[in-house]
Chain A
Amino acid sequence: MKKWFSIALGIVTATGGFLDAGTIATAGESGAKFGLGLIWAVIIATAAIILLVEMVGRFTAVSKKPYAAAIRENFGFRFFLAPLICEIIAESLMLAAELGGVAIALSLLTGISWHYLFPVAALLVFAMAWRAPFDWIENGPAILGLVTLSFIAGIIALGGLPHDTLPTLWRPPVKSGDLADYLYLVAATLGSTISPYLLYFYSSGAHEEGWSGSSLLLNRVTAFLGMGFGSMGSIAIIVLGAIVLRPLNISGSTLGEVGLPMAKAFGVIGTTLFAVALFATCFGAALEVVLGVSYLIAQGFGWEWSENKKPVEAARFNLTLILFLLVAVLIGLRGTDPLQLALLASTVIALELPVALFPFLVLMNDPQYLGDKINGRWTNIAIIVILLLACIVALISLPLEILSGGG
């Protein structure tokens, strides 16, 4: 019974925790500008993250080592510095965007400018990360994040897809001069979905919860069903944007705009659902980012770490957490729009993907860590394809960021 409860909770957590400021930003803008023409990118990115999450969970469950600690152990400290530095840069931008997302959600609910609510959002994240046990952090925001399923109800309430929208699925409406914008959104979609912080967080979470070889079914179901269902939220935002925003020539470049389709579908209740979903997803993601990076640093340097320990028992881990949060607050206080920040962070993440994902290929084939649970032929091919994809995205993301003016 307990096993099935864990599996159900795993699915719920992964479903509710899939979206964040980056995925909402890219999905909203994609639907508004290119109809259904970027759903293929979400599907490819989801398939990639499902495979990576399954692998990182299997690695930790069998080897009893978190992914970051294994990178340091197997490749040495010099190599470890590369993903570490990339992650700190990319995720500090992403954390600022997530905090901004929380602030905007509170702003949409209260009417107060999000600039004033930004420090409140940071304090909320700090309080939760500082004292809450791991299962609260993992399950609380994610269960609230199930509100994102109301986006699917929104599509139904709007009467489904109009006839002229469906062809954009296979013929994206890329007008002359929009190509850079389109490719930029492809890169940002991949960067926002295949987030390395998610892998460090998931791996550390599996370690915190004491996963073992008997947790492999839970890991597989969580990865496949949870992430699969979760991506429906992202696709639903694209569809809503295509149905409501695109005919009105609204580009979905602010989070308030992305919520307008829910107003059309359900009125005031719809926008309240959107704001609650935005709060839950960005709050959950902010916690995952701040913890993911703190885990990465603490595990890499061999410090004591755990969310289930009192701050004094893992002092350097908790100090890292505070410092990283402070860096993100300083970035956010410059007043840059969180949505633009999220798009930029997604591009920077796309740039560092090959560095973050390369160790998979080696570690997942090492019998010293995984015994007979090493990758099979097809999973190795899948990693190579993902790495290839990551390299292409890394090569094109920065020029596209400049050419498209950041979406």
Chain B
Amino acid sequence: MRARSTPGVVAGLALLLLLIWPALSGCQFAQSSFASTASSAGSAFSAAATTLTFLHQGRLSRRYAASSFVNFKAELAGLDRQLPTLNGAPGKATLRHLLVLYRPAMQAVNAPCLDMACDWQAQIDALNRASKAFLGAGGS
């Protein structure tokens, strides 16, 4: 009986150890709401910049990019109102800096230059700047 249950117990303990090893190394368990939201926003701005870059490099179809931007818009809309209310939000100066970068980046997300006719490079720059700032604010 004892021999039968041993492999199960060992496997269970091994799994448990595997699951909790980062905790043993002294990691903080979860991010604050602000850090988590800012990181997600930074990541979404980076994805938008990459999508636009790939489109103008001919690696993506216009249809794929248009579809992707619908999701970026849904993910990033309303962030300017949400950020100041979140747990762990930084001081006013940092928030103001983020919002200054958020607005032009959001304009690019709402109306991305999917053709050569408009200034897509400026949009990519705005998205990258916002991405960097939000990722930094989120601690990434």
Contacts and interface: CB of A to CB of B under 8 A. Distances in A.
Contacts of B11: 385, 388
Interface string A110-148: 111111000000000000000000000000000000000
A329 interface: no
A302 interface: no
Interface stretch (B24-32, B77-85, B100-108): B24-32
A174 B28 CA distance: 10
Interface in B36-74: 36, 39-40, 42-44, 46-47, 50-51, 54, 58-64, 66-68, 70-72, 74
Interface of B: 4-5, 7-8, 11-12, 15-16, 18-19, 22-23, 27-33, 35-36, 39-40, 42-44, 46-47, 50-51, 54, 58-64, 66-68, 70-72, 74-75, 131, 135, 139-140
A384 B40 CA distance: 38
Contacts of A40: 18
A208 interface: no
B101 to A, nearest CB: 15
Given A384-B5, A405-B33, 11 more contacts: A108-B67, A179-B27, A181-B31, A250-B46, A253-B40, A255-B71, A256-B64, A260-B50, A263-B64, A385-B7, A403-B29
A114 B50 CA distance: 21
Top-6 shortest CB links A-B: A111-B63, A256-B68, A180-B30, A177-B31, A251-B43, A107-B67
Contacts, number: 154
B24 to A, nearest CB: 11
> Which of B47, B70, B139 has the most chain A CB atoms inside 10 A of its CB?
B47
Contacts of A267: 58-60
A249 B30 contact: no
B28 A177 contact: yes
